[in-house]
Chains A and B, each alone.
Chain A
Amino acid sequence: MAEKLLEIKNLQQYFPVKGLKGTDGKPAVVKAVDGVTFDIYKGEVLGLVGESGCGKTTIGRCILRLVEPTGGEVLFNGIDVLKLKDEEMRKLRQEMQIVFQDPYGSLDPRKTVGQLIGRPLELHRYGTKEEIRKRTHELMELVGLRPEYYGRFPHEFSGGQRQRIGIARAIALNPQFVVCDEPVSALDVSIQAQVLNLMKDLQEKFNLTYLFISHDLRVVRYICDRVIVMYLGRIMEIADSNELYDRPVHPYTKALLSAIPEVTKERRERERVRLQGDVPSPINIPGGCRFHTRCPQRQEICKTTEPPVKDLGNGHFCVCHFA
């Protein structure tokens, strides 16, 4: 846990909403990511959890610059990714890759497996055709695809196999960093385990760094070293995986954790935290602590004052007045 691979500083991503005015009369803006700061260390798997619409996926895409963030900095090995010119960015993309959630939409239906996996190699001039073919076969073996699938099309595969193709494509150029955007949430539970194990193996084998985006807390616990909990475009709590699961501090984290169905009697008897209501609209974020509208522990101060970031030691941070 020594070296920082990525530093994300005050990242913001606002999307203007056409034809809608906010309460202050200015054009409405969806604050998908509203000032997020965190580091990603070399070789770790960092989980990013939260409800739908809290900005998890947007963070992943901002880091890879698939969308242009509104503000903030993303430093990759000290280089500000957001300031790079097109050509420099293209080169850097070898180091940062992404695995998508939807194994059906993320593969070009008109390309064969060989073409899909070989494409990144071609793009970055890996070598001659023969070398690319060889490397493609290596990659296929690595992710557990049989070599005779080389000439087949994505529609001939199951979701799990397609996700393997997506993973092979992402690691083809030996990246240092991979954004995994809910890579298993579209798969059957039995297949989830296989794909997760594959990702874990690859991570250990090549010392990859993952940003693992998910809403499935069990999956996150299984694969992640550290976890970030997000709510409405902000970070609520960061901690080591075990620490977070055993001693959650933020009321939101507690509520999320208590929603996991448990098998053991002891765990089932843990106190359940139930949240009231829905996530407020990211167009109209509540003042004070943005979680106060649904927080079971809210006090007067939560409605008026934004809580500070509290350092609880051992890399455990929490944004709550009562932490």
Chain B
Amino acid sequence: MEEYREKTLVIDEQKKITFWQTFFRNKAAILAAIIIVIFLLCAIFAPLIAPFPYDEQNLPEMMQAPSANHIFGTDEFGRDIFSRVIYGTRISLQVGFFSVAISVIIGTILGALAGYYGGIVDQIISGFIDIVSSFPVSLLAIAVVASLGRSLVNLIIVISMISWAGYARIIRGQVLTLKEWDFVEAARALGASNLRIIFKHVLPNAIAPIIVMSTLEIPKAIIVESTLSFLGLGVPPPTPSWGSIMSAGRAYIMQAPWITMSPGLAMMAIVFAFNLFGDALRDTLDPRLNKQI
């Protein structure tokens, strides 16, 4: 029995290695992963990396161009832009990850229930999906934040409320086809309960497109967060967010373009990296493309 287990282990290890090997054979994926890791480190170790506290005003040094001391320059209160952008990473990534995580969970569960049970359950859930997806995203976000108040948690709630519908729709479609397969029938013949069939047999086979989609949704959530912050509906000051830094720098864009450009470039870099990462993931997870990479 012991030797069987060892062999089993070896085979499992090989599987995992091949997945990541295929994934990182894509050069763009390596670049994307590096950028994402850098931003993650910035967010986690912000107090260690940032040379100045994000809210330390230094009026004599206001609106300085980038220099060795302030590598991204300073804003109208003399605050160090680099430090503020680093701290802003925290807000952006938190919103990105948590809103996607929440909407994936809600969307997956509702989509699976709709697809699996069909009938009236499906009609109700699909109705909700249609209603939610017919709202203009930013308008709804503005309305909700305006009524609930400005905070990080509210931002995450708003973005999740809007974006779960996309996941639900995809999962529902996947489940509709998967539930007709004999292996689902086999599980039922073995005495598995409906919930067990959904979570153990159907969802694991439906999850690949969701992984790709959620990677591509993180940058969207980041952009929505910045948009709301830019409009003054994001995290309240003095906590810096990329959108609010840009918004504040907007008035001085001719004299001090670095105030708006720094967070803008940071945002561009992370959105770009997540998109590349998502594309590479899709290529790796799609068995038909596997051979060509």
* A interface residues with partner B (beta carbon < 8 Å): 61, 64, 66, 89-91, 93-94, 96-98, 100-102, 105-110, 112, 114, 119-120, 123-124, 133-134, 137, 147-148, 150-152, 166, 169, 173
Contact = CB atoms under 8 A, between A and B. Distances in A.
B16 interface: no
B17 interface: no
Residues of B contacting A: mostly: helix
Contacts of A97: 189-190
A107 B190 contact: no
A151 B205 contact: no
A148 B7 contact: yes
A152 B1 contact: no
B139 to A, nearest CB: 39
B191 A133 contact: no
Nearest to B208: A110
A315 B9 CA distance: 55
Contact of B204 (A91, A93, A110): A110
A116 to B, nearest CB: 9
Given A93-B191, A108-B201, A100 B1 contact: no
B8 interface: yes
Listed residue (A93, A102, A110, A166) with the most chain B CB atoms within 10 angstroms of its CB? A110
Contacts of A105: 181-183
Contacts of B148: none
Contacts of A151: 7-9, 11-12
B186 interface: yes
Interface in B41-84: none
Contact of A100 (B182, B190, B201, B205): B182
B8 A120 contact: no
Contacts of B182: 100-102, 105-106
5 contacts: A66-B185, A66-B189, A93-B189, A100-B186, A119-B190
B25 interface: no
A66 B190 CA distance: 10
A134 B1 contact: yes
A124 B196 CA distance: 13
A89 B191 CA distance: 8
Contact of A64 (B1, B4, B189, B192): B189
A119 B201 CA distance: 11
Contacts of B183: 105-109
Interface string B183-221: 101111111110010000100110000000000000000
A90 B188 CA distance: 9
Nearest to A137: B4
B187 to A, nearest CB: 8
Nearest to A133: B1
Q: Lowest 7 CB-CB distances: which A-B pairs, in order? A: A151-B8, A106-B182, A93-B191, A151-B11, A90-B191, A105-B182, A100-B182
